[in-house]
Each structure stands twice: as structure tokens, then as C-alpha cells.
Amino acid sequence: MNVALFLPCYVDQFYPQVGISTLQLLEKLGCTVTYPLNQTCCGQPMANSGFEKLAQDCNELFVKNFAGFDAVVCPSGSCTLHVKDHLHSHDREGDAQQIRSHIYELTEFLTDVLKVERLPARFMHKVGLHQSCHGQRGLHLSQMSELVAPPFSKPEKLLTMVEGLELIALDRKDECCGFGGTFCVFEEAVSSRMGIDRVEDHVRNGAEVLTGGDMSCLMHLEGIVRRKKLPVRVMHIAEILNQD
């Protein structure tokens, strides 16, 4: 399968190891991966701030970079959802539509497209999973606890395939971390308190590693971990699934 790798800005700039792990994992699973070198921001920050029209150049460049692939894979539910819901092009709407219907968050791609049932990964740690809002409620990567419905979680399914990994139970498994993009700027105090609550849930239940599928959420939580000098490490799920 010919796959294009789309990396969010903050992964590219601050967490390159997440992009590398995603690339290596996809190649281990038999994908031919291309990284379009001219890719930039998907435009989500502008759109979320009420300036979607200013993001049109981002849209046009995104279409130019990612048209024609069997799938576009991104290690971020937030950016994936934005492209899936908002990517349009003045001149190449057909290509934009094709991308919207073929872009996948990483764990979604592994479970729904590649149908992964086994991973050659080993990680001897107690792990707490943070299920981000865009992934859970936007992309339906996992069931929402407020619904009376059978539970499921695509990230959890993949983590249970990792040898030696112990997935801990959280008190509030699908609570928001408080990041929310520009929300953490305009509502700093509320955002910080929500993040503290989220981290404390993991620490209280014995997590050695806190993971998730959105590096934006994890960046927010990692800042709290570092400032409070808490005994937990923060890793993107791609880094764990790529462990040998």
C-alpha cells in the first residue's frame, strides 16, 4: 500500500521521534511510505480561531502534497479530524474529496485498514492511555463512557498486543486533558487544572508511562509532569508500538 505520512507541526518541530516511530512502524507492517517534503500546517489553528478563510492556502498546499496516495496517515486524531471535515480546494475539489475519504489517524489505520492482529513489540511497563477528545468523539476511535453501548477502543486493542505491557485502569478514562488548542491560551487556568487532574489520575493508578494518540494533548500533560517532577514518562503510542 502506497501511504503518505502527514506529520503535525508540533511533531515535526518538537517531537521528531514520533514521526520516525510512525514511519518505522508503517514500514514494518509492509507499507510503502512517502513523506512529502513540502508539507506544512493543515490550517487547524487558524480555523479553530475563527479565521478559516485564511487557511485556504494551507488547504491548497495540502492537496498538492497529498493527492494520489492510497492513504494519508497521521499520528494525530486532532489534525486528522480537521482535514477530514474541513479540507476543500477551489481548483482541485475532487482531489480534496479523495484525501478527506482516505486520511486516517494512525491507530485507526492500523486497526481498520491494515487489520493488524499482531505486533512484534515488547514494552515492560505499566501504561495509562489518554484518549483524546477529537479521536474519541470525532473519529470514534473508542466508545464514550456517557453512552450505554458496548465498549471498544482501537488504541487499547493495539496496546494489548504489546508483549509485557500492562494497561492500567483509570478512574475517568475518557476525561479531557484541557489542552484544546487555543483553549489552553484563552482559558489557561481551567486548562491547567484539567491537565493536572488528568495526570494525577494516571499517577494515582500506578502508570509508569502515559501515552495517547495526540502529541498535542501529550505535550500539555508532559509540561505538567515536568513542572511537578512526577514519576511518569510521556510517550506517543507510536513510540510504544514500535518498540522491539
pLDDT tens digits, residue range 102-113?
A: 999 999 999 999
Beta strand 32-34 with 209-212 is unpaired
Taking the CA atoms of residue 74, residue 79, residue 80 and residue 82 in that order, the dihedral angle to the nearest 10 degrees is: -160
- What integer pLDDT is reported at residue 77 of this predicted model? 92
Q: What is the pTM of this model?
A: 0.93
- DSSP helix/strand/coil, 42: coil
d(CA 47, CA 32): 32
- What integer pLDDT is reported at residue 6 of this predicted model? 98
Own/partner pairs for 164-167, CB < 8 Å, 24+ apart?
164/122, 164/123, 164/124, 164/125, 165/123, 165/124, 165/125, 165/127, 165/240, 166/125, 166/126, 166/127, 167/127, 167/128, 167/129
d(CA 119, CA 116): 7
- What integer pLDDT is reported at residue 88 of this predicted model? 94
- What integer pLDDT is reported at residue 182 of this predicted model? 74
Q: Name residue 14's amino acid.
A: F
CA 192: distance to chain centroid? Answer: 20
How do the domains of the chain map onto residue ranges?
A: 2-113, 126-241
Question: Which ranges of the chain have pLDDT less than 50?
Answer: none
d(CA 184, CA 186): 6
d(CA 114, CA 81): 20
169: CB partners within 8 A, 6+ apart: 205
Helices (H), 152-214: 154-159, 183-186, 188-204
Helix (H) or strand (E) holding 166: strand 166-167
Per residue in 68-121, pLDDT (tens digit) is: 999 999 999 999 999 999 999 999 999 999 999 999 999 999 999 999 999 999
- What integer pLDDT is reported at residue 58 of this predicted model? 92
Helix (H) or strand (E) holding 217: helix 215-228
Q: Do residues 159 and 240 lie in contact, with contact meaning Cβ atoms separated by under 8 Å?
A: yes
CATH of domain 126-241: 3.40.50
Q: How far is CA 170 from CA 20, 205, 209, 212, in A?
A: 29, 6, 13, 13
- What integer pLDDT is reported at residue 33 of this predicted model? 98
Residue 22, CB-side half-sphere exposure with 13 Å CA sphere: 32
- DSSP helix/strand/coil, 108: helix
- What integer pLDDT is reported at residue 75 of this predicted model? 96
